Amino acid sequence: MTYDRDALAAELIRDEGERFKVYRCPAGKRTIGIGRNLDDVRISPAETAALGITLASVLKNGITREQSRALFANDIAACERQLDAKLPWWRGLSDVRQRALLNMCFNLGIGRLLGFKNTLARMERGDFVGAAARMRTSLWARQVGARAERLATMMEKGTA
């Protein structure tokens, strides 16, 4: 099953916002575009070649909407690759549940997402009510508030 990429993009833009100048995210990381963490992800050599930007130029001048969207597409693709490598069962989830898990990966990064061991185990075995309950009681849920509730509801009900 494949998920609705346009719906995912709209959900992430709603949750992350889009800024063309560097700002500090709630975790204190330098961020630009639609949630691009410049401290950890940076700007890759391929992105420099394709978009004509470097970390230094982004920090100094910001980015355009087109550059923001290109970085965003790369970040979604990276989340997909990470989920494929670490949680290959995610592709068997319904469209809405795939989007919820991708949104979490985008927000947390794969390393922090993998810390949700009990939640992920429940998702893998199809216990979506249990997974949603674990999502709602996490520190992450307290940090991101309404976003976590939306994603937990998506996971629980399988509808957006």
Q: Mean pLDDT over all residues of the chain?
A: 97
pLDDT in tens, 4-38: 999 999 999 999 999 999 999 888 999 999 999 99
pLDDT at 126: 98
> How many angstroms separate the CA atoms of 84 and 38, rounded?
23
**Residue ranges making up the domain that contains 108:** 5-157
Per the structure, the count of domains in the chain is: 1
pLDDT at 1: 62
pLDDT at 27: 84
Residue 148 pLDDT greater than 70, yes or no:
yes
The percent of residues in the chain predicted with pLDDT above 70, rounded, is 99
Residues 39 and 47 sit within 8 Å (Cβ to Cβ): no
Instruction: Indicate which CATH number applies to the domain containing 32.
Output: 1.10.530.40
What pTM did the predictor assign? Answer: 0.94
Instruction: Cite the beta strand spans of 3-133 per DSSP E.
Output: 19-24, 30-33, 36-37
pLDDT at 154: 98
The percent of residues in the chain predicted with pLDDT above 90, rounded, is 96
pLDDT in tens, 80-119: 999 999 999 999 999 999 999 999 999 999 999 999 999 9
> How many angstroms separate the CA atoms of 101 and 90, rounded?
8
